[in-house]
Amino acid sequence: RNEFSLFKIIFSSKWKICTGRHSLWALGSYIPEFTVVLMLDDIQVGYYDSKVNQVMRTSTASDHKAELNLGQEPVNVLRDIYSSMRKRLNLVKHRFNLTIDGVHVQQRVTGCEVLEDGQPALIMFRDGSNGQDADSLLYNMTHFTYAVREGWEIQWDALKKTSFQMLYSNIYLSFCVRTLQHFLECEKHLVMRRVKPRLRFITRQVVSGGQVTCLATDFYPRHINLSLLRDGQPVDEGSVRVGSVLPNGNGLYQVRKMLMVGEKELQRKHNYTCEAFHLSLDNRLRINWRAESSYSHRVHSISPLVVLMLAAVLLLLLVLRRKRRKERSEGVATETQEQVGESEQSDDLVTS
Ligand SMILES: *[C@@H]1O[C@H](CO)[C@@H](O)[C@H](O)[C@H]1NC(C)=O
Ligand SMILES: *[C@@H]1O[C@H](CO)[C@@H](O)[C@H](O)[C@H]1NC(C)=O
Ligand SMILES: *[C@@H]1O[C@H](CO)[C@@H](O)[C@H](O)[C@H]1NC(C)=O
Ligand SMILES: *[C@@H]1O[C@H](CO)[C@@H](O)[C@H](O)[C@H]1NC(C)=O
């Protein structure tokens, strides 16, 4: 239940990447090698290589410039993070009596967000030990929020909290915002890109009628508004299943909305429309689909009995074919045997 979802939170609704806002996150793990991945919005832009003690640019983002030119400061900050994570894991091990040689993981997400005009909006960190949330701190320019997971036994005293607040608001904040601006400048071509969604309908027959799915793929940024209309009228949202926005595997996104259409409704042959609003589009994008007469007719006329009979015939054919093939392979000369048979054949030769 407490499964650690630290690295997912930046893409969840709570930390949703709002259009116009930008964020820089460092995702650190200590197991006990120390690795850090740097995310600008939802794009991996760099990582920390502990072997060379440097912040490297991620190759997918490197088609323009190879160097990151961030200087020594980020390396120092990352080393601070490293030593703080190491200390925390040692504390956790001690407090919870964990064995010295077992594998234990310390994770941290830390970073900042800026508004459209470049003004800082927040800075935060969130820690987890061994897959469990531990504590987090967030400063939103007016308030500090410090939260500890219920049941987490390691409490900070007031002094410790104050020192962390000072560190984050006085030192890390300005550093993070500066680094974020630097990345934004370097990776403009990735972050500011606008890729138009492709829309298509996927329709499927099911027992009770049909399944009409609108699929939007290959768009960037992630934010999209997709809606389904029936004869030009919005479909009741209660009858629509909405998928979450997923990575498409190529740095772009996809999302789907699905409507279950009963047999009766299918026969009425409504005109379904899928409509997308996206930053990449000056206007909305629309596609239409209407149940064809053959489609709804087929859905109507196939009875369970027919399906059963068809299945029985198919099964019979399969059994007959397999039987015939078996007879043939047993009786045929060795050269014409299938690949699978070859190893058996050589085994036979050895034993005989
Ligand atoms: C931790 O381990 C020691 C020695 O094995 C034991 O005496 C102690 O009770 C344990 N403490 C906890 C909190 O489990
Ligand atoms: C900061 O957080 C506090 C407490 O959650 C909230 O009352 C306040 O409006 C927030 N300020 C900004 C600028 O978001
Ligand atoms: C469906 O309706 C849209 C307008 O909402 C119209 O442009 C389109 O031609 C219609 N499609 C069919 C197949 O009737
Ligand atoms: C999507 O809809 C919301 C709420 O209606 C609106 O604020 C937002 O600007 C829309 N986004 C796009 C890309 O049209």
What integer pLDDT is reported at residue 18 of this predicted model?
53
What integer pLDDT is reported at residue 111 of this predicted model?
95
The closest-lying atom of ligand 4 relative to the alpha carbon of residue 223 is 13
Domain count, the chain: 2
303 falls within a domain: no
Domain boundary among 191, 214, 238: 191
More confident residue, 257 or 15: 257
Decide: 266 and 291 in contact? Cβ < 8 Å: yes
Rounded distance between C-alpha atoms, residue 89 and residue 254, angstroms: 38
Q: What percentage of residues in the chain have a pLDDT greater than 70?
A: 79
Model pTM?
A: 0.70
Within this chain, do residues 172 and 219 fall inside the same structural domain, yes or no?
no
The pLDDT confidence band at residue 145, using thresholds 50, 70 and 90, is very high
> pLDDT at residue 6 above 60?
no
Residue type present at position 78: L
> pLDDT at residue 292 above 80?
no
Task: Please name the helix (run of DSSP H) or strand (run of DSSP E) that holds residue 19, with its range, or none.
Answer: none
> pLDDT at residue 83 above 60?
yes
Q: What percentage of residues in the chain have a pLDDT greater than 90?
A: 41
Residue of the CA atom closest to atom 2 of ligand 2: 143
Rounded distance between C-alpha atoms, residue 206 and residue 32, angstroms: 51
Residue of the CA atom closest to atom 5 of ligand 2: 143
Angle at 192 between CA 10 and CA 20, to 5 degrees: 60
316 falls within a domain: no
Residue of the CA atom closest to atom 7 of ligand 2: 143
What integer pLDDT is reported at residue 2 of this predicted model?
37
Cis status of the peptide bond prior to 197, with omega within 30 of 0: no
What integer pLDDT is reported at residue 294 of this predicted model?
45
Q: Which residues contact 157 (CB under 8 A, 6 or more apart)?
A: none
What integer pLDDT is reported at residue 172 of this predicted model?
94
What integer pLDDT is reported at residue 154 of this predicted model?
79
Tell me the H-state helices in 30-151. 73-95
For ligand 1, the distance from its centroid to the CA atom of residue 96, given in whole angstroms, is 8
What CATH number does the domain containing 182 carry?
3.30.500.10
Four-residue CA torsion sign, 8, 9, 14, 18: negative
What CATH number does the domain containing 246 carry?
2.60.40.10
For ligand 1, the distance from its centroid to the CA atom of residue 98, given in whole angstroms, is 9
Go through 180-197 and write b for each residue having 16 or more CB atoms within 10 A of its CB, e for each that does not. bebbbebbeebbeeebeb
Decide: 258 and 215 in contact? Cβ < 8 Å: no
> pLDDT at residue 281 above 60?
yes
Encode pLDDT of 232-245 as tens digits. Answer: 999 998 889 999 99
Instruction: Provide mean pLDDT across the span 134-163.
Output: 88
Residue of the CA atom closest to atom 8 of ligand 3: 288
> pLDDT at residue 132 above 50?
yes
Residues with CB under 6 A from ligand 2: 140-143
Low-confidence winner among 98-112, 160-174, 216-230 (lowest mean pLDDT): 98-112
Within this chain, do residues 178 and 250 fall inside the same structural domain, yes or no?
no
- Secondary structure percentages of the chain, helix, strand, coil, to 5: 35, 35, 30
Cis status of the peptide bond prior to 221, with omega within 30 of 0: yes
Structural domain range at position 49: 3-191
CB atoms within 10 A of CB 137: 21
> pLDDT at residue 10 above 60?
no
> pLDDT at residue 308 above 80?
no
Count the helices and strands in the chain (H runs, E runs).
Answer: 8, 17
If DSSP codes are grouped into helix, strand and coil, which group holds residue 136?
strand
Within this chain, do residues 38 and 151 fall inside the same structural domain, yes or no?
yes
